[in-house]
Amino acid sequence: MRAVLGVGGGIAAYKAAELVRALQQRGHDVQVVMTRAAQEFIQPLTFAALTGRKVVTSLWAAPDSQDILSSAVEHIAVAQENDVLIVAPATADLLAKFAQGLADDFLTTLYLAFTGRVVLAPAMNTAMWEHPATQSNLDVLRGRGCSIVDPDEGWLACGTIGAGRLPDPVRIADRVDSLERRKRDFEGETLLITAGPTQESLDPVRYISNRSSGKMGYALAEAAARRGARVVLISGPVNLPPPANVERISVRTAQEMRAAVLEQLQDASIVIKAAAVADYYLANAPQQKLKKTAARLSLELDPTPDILAEVGQRKGDRLLIGFAAETENLLEEARRKMKAKKCDMLVANLVNRDGLGFESDRNEVDIISHSGHVVHAGPAEKETIAERILDQVATLRLSLHAT
Ligand SMILES: Cc1cc2nc3c(=O)[nH]c(=O)nc-3n(C[C@H](O)[C@H](O)[C@H](O)COP(=O)(O)O)c2cc1C
């Protein structure tokens, strides 16, 4: 892929050199653009030597070719020549300018002229990262379809520990790879995807829930929409903005999720149930808040509706993909569940490992098809795992159509 790497004026600018290497090792052709501030941190010469190409350092650089007109509109040429724009480090300033659509230097003007995929890898001091202004700029950019590689936590150059470190170049390169599939192989399909946890009330202020963040289901929804599908995302309560070009229906309880799924099932050709639906709920939860007393409290819980099994019964010729989060006997449990729920494919993951699965940006899964074939994916970013799952769904669809 042809990638243009925009380097912002942050202390992590030197790590962009490692990113150039990581991208090149994966076969990408890299062109570097530096902001004025970035040049305070690292010399353009470093990138010129690594890429063997002229580094663009200004909107106003004197044209060095005879063809004055083509040089004068270099930002348009660079925008048209490249498949992906990566910005690393994406400073707070750049995020604000991109969100507002300002175009006062080469990189910001390039961003506006760019019609391909955009990957932003922010890096900054923790307070700057957590500032509502930065977070709301990120929401705007996510809503526009930019792919944000969240910063790592750890020691920062300012001497503090917290979120804000430039993500590892391998993680950024992984993200770029996951976007490489520019194919629109889900065009004409309607995907119904569920995501996130459900909340089951115990009283008006308390509920039972689980640690699902919804990130896996959201990554699937985003990837499917990018690959041309119409996507309906039925989401439990999560802290994630709606992905670009996806119809999101928000629900809270397992009952609400069931009703929404059954209502939307009609139009769906593929159903992916990535939500972590609560297994039990308190029927007739009290209308008033439970009072604390010295006595032990026992609650009798009823099973929630088994939405996956119900969809399995009514699935017709739709493809049904389930998820199984287990803490032991992963493959055995997954195969049992796949058969019992009439799934065509099951994505199984162990959720009791640090840094993977629930509440994490990364995951490692086994994708089991109805023939028993197992494909292992990860550990990798959930965006990458989402692409692998969709690849397997596309293969399964082909094999079913062929038989
Ligand atoms: C030593 C130093 C380190 C800095 N590190 C960062 C940083 O890591 N992230 C950030 O967003 N801004 C950082 N800044 C502030 C930016 O350099 C400043 O906002 C600049 O205008 C950003 O320019 P840009 O839009 O070209 O990225 C730093 C400034 C200094 C002086």
Same domain, 9 and 119: yes
Question: In the structure encoding, which two tokens stand for residue 138, read together?
Answer: 């990120």
Ligand 1 contact via 92 beta carbon (within 6 Å): yes
What pLDDT score does 71 carry? 54
Answer whether residue 335 shows pLDDT above 90.
no
The predicted structure's pLDDT at residue 265: 97
Q: Is the pLDDT of residue 293 over 90?
A: yes
Model confidence at 231, pLDDT cuts 50, 70, 90, reads very high
CATH number at residue 366: 3.40.50.10300
pLDDT reading at 66 higher than 80? no
Whether residues 134 and 156 fall in one domain: yes
Over the stretch 14-27, which tens digit does the pLDDT of each residue have? 999 999 999 999 88
* 223 and 97 within one domain: no
Cα distances from 238 to residues 161, 296, 372, in angstroms, run: 26, 32, 33
Q: What is the mean pLDDT of the chain?
A: 89
| Boundary of a domain, candidates 159, 180, 201 | 180
Residues 88 and 147 in one domain: yes
Mean pLDDT of 88-106: 97
Give the mean model confidence (pLDDT) for residues 283-312.
Answer: 94
Q: CB–CB of 118/111 below 8 Å?
A: yes
Domain-embedded: residue 224: yes
**Which residues neighbour 90 within 8 Å (Cβ) at sequence distance 6 or greater?**
6, 8, 98, 120, 121, 122, 123
Is residue 198 within 8 A of residue 275, CB to CB? The reply is: yes
In-domain check, residue 23: yes
pLDDT tens, 72-92?
Answer: 577 788 888 888 999 999 999
pLDDT at residue 196, rounded to an integer: 96
185 domain residue, yes or no: no
The answer, yes or no, to whether any atom of ligand 1 lies below 6 A from the CB of 93, is yes
pLDDT value at residue 78: 86
Q: Are residues 207 and 88 in the same domain?
A: no
Q: Is the pLDDT reported for residue 395 higher than 90? A: no
Q: Which of 154-158, 295-299, 333-337, 385-389 is least confident?
A: 154-158
228 shares a domain with 266: yes
- Please give the structure tokens belonging to residue 151: 């910063």
More confident residue, 282 or 177: 282
| CA 12 to ligand 1 centroid distance, Å | 9
Residue 332 lies in a domain: yes
Render pLDDT for 37-49 as a digit per residue (tens, 0 to 9): 999 999 999 999 9
Q: Is 158 part of the annotated catalytic residue set? A: yes
Q: What is the pLDDT of residue 328?
A: 78
Domain membership flag for residue 64? yes
pLDDT given at position 333: 85
pLDDT at residue 359, rounded to an integer: 66
Range with the largest mean pLDDT of 56-60, 179-183, 268-272: 268-272
pLDDT at 403 > cutoff 70: no
Render pLDDT for 198-220 as a digit per residue (tens, 0 to 9): 999 999 999 999 999 999 999 99
* CATH number reported for the structural domain that contains residue 55 in this entry: 3.40.50.1950
Last residue of a domain, one of 134, 160, 180: 180
Question: Which residue in 336, 276, 273, 274 sits closest to 304, CA to CA?
Answer: 276
**Atom 5, ligand 1: residue with shortest CA distance:** 10
Please tell me the total count of domains within the chain. 2
Region 255-267: what's the mean pLDDT? 97
Q: Residue 204: is the preceding peptide bond cis (ω within 30°)?
A: no
Question: Is 101 among the domain residues?
Answer: yes
Q: Does residue 357 have its Cβ closer than 6 Å to ligand 1? A: no
Identity at 56, one-letter amino acid code: V
164 lines ligand 1 (CB under 6 A): no
Over residues 6-19, mean pLDDT? 97
What pLDDT score was predicted for residue 106? Answer: 94
| CA 197 to centroid of ligand 1, rounded, Å | 38
Same domain, 141 and 219: no
For the Cβ of 277 lying below 6 angstroms from any atom of ligand 1, the answer is: no
Residue 292 structural domain: 190-402
Examine the fold and report which residue of 162, 180, 198 is the final residue of a domain before the chain moves on: 180
Nearest residue (CA) to ligand 1, atom 17: 9
Token readout for 137 is 């700029």
Nearest CA owner, ligand 1 atom 1: 11
Three-state secondary-structure class, residue 164: strand
Taking CA atoms, 375 is separated from 59, 186, 366, 369, in Å, by 47, 20, 6, 8
Catalytic residue among 61, 73, 112, 158: 158
Domain shared by 100 and 216, yes or no = no
41 and 116 within one domain: yes
Q: Are residues 111 and 196 in the same domain?
A: no
Q: Are residue 101 and residue 168 in the same domain, yes or no? A: yes
Give the 3-state secondary structure of residue 6.
strand
11 CA → ligand 1 middle, Å: 7
Q: Note whether 251 and 369 are same-domain residues.
A: yes
The predicted model gives 340-350 an average pLDDT of 91
**How confident is the model at residue 70, as a pLDDT?**
47
Strands 207-208 and 247-250 come out as unpaired
Burial class (CB in 10 A: 0-12, 13-18, 19+), 8: buried
How confident is residue 181, by pLDDT bands cut at 50, 70 and 90? low
Nearest CA to ligand 1 atom 23: 9
Pocket flag, ligand 1, residue 96 (CB < 6 Å) = no
Q: How far is the CA of 23 from the centre of ligand 1 (A)?
A: 24
**Distant-in-sequence, close-in-space partners of 236: CB < 8 Å, separation ≥ 6:** 194, 195, 196, 197, 198, 199, 212, 214, 251, 252, 257, 275, 276, 277
Q: Is 35 in the pocket of ligand 1 (CB under 6 A)?
A: yes
pLDDT above 90: percentage of residues in the chain: 67
Q: Please give the distance, rounded to the nearest whole angstrom, from the Cα atom of residue 27 to the centre of ligand 1.
A: 30
User: Does residue 303 fall inside a structural domain?
Assistant: yes
Residue 330 has pLDDT above 60, yes or no: yes
Q: Tell me which residue of 4, 398, 394, 345 sits closest to 223, measured CA to CA.
A: 394
**Does any domain span residue 349?**
yes
Q: So what's the pLDDT on residue 356?
A: 62
The pLDDT of residue 384 is: 82
